[in-house]
Amino acid sequence: MIENITLITGIPRSGTTLCCNLLNQRDDAVALHEPINPSRLAGGVSAGRAGMEIESIILQLREDIAAGRPFENGDKAGLSIDNPVGLSTKDGKRQVVAQRGLVSIPPRENQHFRLIVKQNALFTSLLTQLEVRFPIVAIVRNPVDVLLSWMTVDLPVNRGRVPAGERFSDFLRNTLLRTDSVFQRQLIIYTWFMQQFIEHELSIVRYEDVVASAGTVLDEALGFQALNRSPLNYQNRQFAPALLDELQSNLTEITKLSRFGLYSEAEIARAMTSAIGAGE
């Protein structure tokens, strides 16, 4: 294992960017929000080659940060972003506000910080290649809240696609191509992420526990001493009745996701009740 580097992956819209924000409140960590642009990886390469290329990119990121050189990040505004999607909408979909670009921070000596790199679909599709070199932590969230978010954001997952994951997972890509229903594709995507995390025996952290503990469970999962932070609050959002009706009509299938053992049937039902209540 490469020392002082940890990877974070997670289900899209499960709070992984918030986790980076929380970790960046530490003096002994630098957490990056999707610094690797999947489209810039060499085209047509094998998963093994992609894993090696990602390792090289991450090591270069650590060197650049240590030396105080500019480095690429998923948001050029800096390291404090906690949600890449804003509140403004277009055609009923919340718009992405994060803009990829170069970031500069004061130099850090290698031995004085842990580098945490977060990418969701890309890292998940390459777990076999990456887990032999890096410790990896996965962030998950109640499927009701995830699916509602996917239905309302201007991201590929809104259409039931995850390009960065499909690029190195033939199974995921082919399964999605055979499925016409957007909602069914979204269920497939959620299931794929959970299966990958469990099959690879990753350390899994629930978003709800991150919020309830103000990040303490995240610190512990990464082997840090807990940091005393201000309390975190859930952001309750209202959703269009049509979306809630669609989710309610498919609640039986959503409830089956309790089989992964991370959210019980009761927790899934409570999330649905809460979403309906917020919309009334």
For 5, 104, 207, the CA distances from 112, given in Å and listed in that order, are 12, 17, 28
| Mean predicted confidence (pLDDT) in 226-248 | 89
Give the tens place of pLDDT for each residue, 150-188. Answer: 999 999 999 999 999 999 999 999 999 999 999 999 999
Distance from chain centroid for Cα 5: 17
Measured between alpha carbons, how far is 84 from 201 in angstroms, rounded to an integer?
Answer: 28
Measured between alpha carbons, how far is 239 from 278 in angstroms, rounded to an integer?
Answer: 8
Measured between alpha carbons, how far is 239 from 242 in angstroms, rounded to an integer?
Answer: 8
4-25: b (≥16 Cβ within 10 Å) or e = ebbbbbbbbbbbbbbbbbbbbe
The helix (run of H) or strand (run of E) holding residue 80 is none
* Both tokens assigned to 128: 């076999």
Closest CA to 186 of 149, 216, 218: 149
pLDDT of res. 201? 98
What CATH number corresponds to the domain at position 143?
A: 3.40.50
pLDDT of res. 72? 96
More confident residue, 255 or 110: 255
Report the sign of the C-alpha dihedral through residues 95, 12, 139, 50, in that order.
Answer: negative
Which of 35-44, 136-145, 239-248 shows the lowest mean pLDDT across its residues? 35-44
Domain that holds residue 189: 5-279
| Mean predicted confidence (pLDDT) in 242-263 | 96
Measured between alpha carbons, how far is 6 from 113 in angstroms, rounded to an integer?
Answer: 11
pLDDT of res. 45? 77
Number of domains the chain contains: 1
Give the tens place of pLDDT for each residue, 4-28. Answer: 999 999 999 999 999 999 999 999 9
| Mean predicted confidence (pLDDT) in 50-67 | 95
Distance from chain centroid for Cα 50: 19
CB 45 within 8 A of CB 154: no
